[in-house]
Amino acid sequence: MADTATLEARLEEAEEALHQVLIGQSVTVTAYDGHRTEYGPAKEGELRRYIGSLKRELGRGRGPGSRRVVF
């Protein structure tokens, strides 16, 4: 697991990438640990899941019993 500062930096970058996708940027690129990932409108869900996983690693995510109910 990465240290807190690294996770914070990744989260900030991922949230900025999501913002760019949502305002219509065609492709947003994030890079960390030698990996490069491109996110476009079709990968918005994947980017949201990545942000969620970073938040969980930082202790900010939803707990195990707090799932949203969908009908």
69 DSSP assignment: P
DSSP 18-67: HHHHHTT-S-EEEEETTEEEEE-GGGHHHHHHHHHHHHHHTT-S--TT-P
In the structure, what pLDDT confidence band is assigned to residue 66 with cuts at 50, 70 and 90? Answer: low
pTM to 2 decimal places: 0.63
With pLDDT > 70 as the criterion, what percentage of the chain qualifies? 76
CA distance 14 to 1: 17
What per-residue confidence (pLDDT) applies to 65? 53
